[in-house]
Amino acid sequence: MQQRYKSTRGGTAQDDYSFEDALFSGYAPDGGLFVPVSLPSINREKDQYSLWSNMTFPELAYDVLRKFISPTEIDDANLKSICDKSFPLDAFDEECYIPIKDVGSSLHIAELFHGPTFCFKDFGMRPVINLLSYFAELRSRPITLLVSTTGDTGPAAVHAVNDASNPLLTILVHYPHGQISDFQRKQLTTLQSNYVKVASFEGGGDDMDWPIKETLLSSKSGGKDSGVGAAEGGRLFCGINSYNIGRPLVQMTLFIWIYLRMAEKLGLSPGDENSLIDMVLPTGAMGNLTGAYMAKQMGVPIGKLYCGVNINDITHRVIDRGEFHQQKIEKTLSEALNVEVPYNFERILFYLTGGNESLVKGWMETMDKTQQLTLNELWLKRLQQDFQSASITDDEMCNALRETYESSFEHYLCDPHTAVAVAAAKKLGVFVSMKVVAEEGHI
């Protein structure tokens, strides 16, 4: 099986990208985002699900990635070792990886913070960095990852790069001086590593985004002939935020895993299309949401996807009223959700429209030009069939956090991001019908 990649905006007829091209290029040359040319449809036979049910987390990650990376690019043994290295038992919480806690009678919380940096970013970052490391080695080409962070992405990335210990793979991280938590600043700056450089800058959280994007573009990442596979020589700069297709791909595993564990918990027969599991996600750049949606598109019985966002609520405005209109970022207590334009919405639109590239291209070009895109009634209705959302203020988040603590069996203390999801679930009334979940959190 050959798995190739293309742009959400269609690109040109000659475009045909390998996984390696897509992983290294970040954005497609036409400005779109990479997606697999086809999504495998999960074998509905119970077999697939019973196989999956018995797998360890690294085995499941391997099985999922195997469907998206051709064996001619990475053979079985190497892909297995990448997955094992990414999710080592001693760095993740014993064997359960994602404990699911019952908080009250109808709320289950999937905890995604049991990795080495206590943040769910570990799950997506580690395999992506090990995949990059594999190709750097294969091509004998030095790569520097560029990241700007307000807290969660940076620590996960530097620890993953340090663990990869590949002299060809280094990382340069920037964080806004005085604007990240002390704990996360220490996670970044106290790591003694030959592979990691960290710098702070004066300014706001997203002030480094533009210089980084410029550097990435001028290093000629992007395009069929400039990916690591084709060009020789110089150092390549690479971005690893969730516009990179590697992130949603590996994060699909989370949702398959959570689905399987919930099906066991609720006594459902795994794979049964009549027993869908709804999920509530604290949503920022929609990377995780895209992972969940892709799993759903492949046939995993995931029901509705509910997005909890803070007052930086472009995601809510588009799901509620069809208005994908860019606004200025406001400070909140749930930093990781402070996103002005969730770039993965482009992938959501791509799958929502059944892969209608010209429609997506038109929409996104309007967005690029005017910072505004308005969906018509028809598409808004379609969007609302799969997604619902709520916008949560800091006060509402704090109330949800307190109420959960006071009303739960063992005084469950969630972090502000989880609390946004819990507040959204309450606001949307999903507890009544809900079979599930809100995911994650970190310290």
Ligand X SMILES: *Cc1c(COP(=O)(O)O)cnc(C)c1O
Q: Which of 119, 292, 383, 437 touches ligand X (CB under 6 A)? A: 119
CB of 167: closest distance to ligand X in angstroms? Answer: 29
Q: Which of 287, 301, 308, 322 touches ligand X (CB under 6 A)? A: 287
Q: Buried b vs exposed e over 131-159: b needs ≥16 C-beta within 10 Å?
A: bbbbbbeebebebbbbbbbbbbbbbbbbb
CB of 441: closest distance to ligand X in angstroms? Answer: 6
In the complex with ligand X, the residue whose CB is nearer, 107 or 281, is 281
Is residue 413 within 8 A of residue 391, CB to CB? The reply is no
Convert residues 414-433 into a mask of x (bound to ligand X by CB under 6 A) and - (unbound): ---x----------------
Residue 85 to residue 51: CA distance in whole angstroms:
22
The residue among 38, 28, 8, 32 whose CA lies nearest residue 356 is 8
* 229: contact with ligand X by CB under 6 A: no
* 397: contact with ligand X by CB under 6 A: no
* 286: contact with ligand X by CB under 6 A: yes
Which region, judged by CB under 6 A, interacts with ligand X, from 96-104, 114-122, 191-199, 390-398? 114-122
* 260: contact with ligand X by CB under 6 A: no
* 288: contact with ligand X by CB under 6 A: yes
* 126: contact with ligand X by CB under 6 A: no
Is residue 322 within 8 A of residue 378, CB to CB? The reply is no
Is residue 146 within 8 A of residue 237, CB to CB? The reply is yes
Q: Which of 15, 21, 73, 152 touches ligand X (CB under 6 A)? A: 152
432 burial type by CB count under 10 A (0-12 exposed, 13-18 middle, 19+ buried)? exposed
Residue 279 to residue 102: CA distance in whole angstroms:
14
Q: Which of 49, 52, 118, 120 touches ligand X (CB under 6 A)? A: 120
Which region, judged by CB under 6 A, interacts with ligand X, from 116-124, 128-136, 189-197, 401-409? 116-124
In the complex with ligand X, the residue whose CB is nearer, 260 or 285, is 285
H or E stretch covering 439: strand 438-439
Residue 64 to residue 373: CA distance in whole angstroms:
33
In the complex with ligand X, the residue whose CB is nearer, 131 or 341, is 341
Convert residues 337-376 into a mask of x (bound to ligand X by CB under 6 A) and - (unbound): x---------------------------------------
* 285: contact with ligand X by CB under 6 A: yes
What is the per-residue DSSP string for 119-158?
STHHHHHHHHHHHHHHHHHHHT--EEEEEE-SSSHHHHHH
Q: Which residues contact 1 (CB under 8 A, 6 or more apart)?
A: 70, 71
Is residue 440 within 8 A of residue 251, CB to CB? The reply is no
Residues that bind ligand X (CB under 6 A): 119-121, 152, 242, 282-289, 336-337, 417, 440, 442
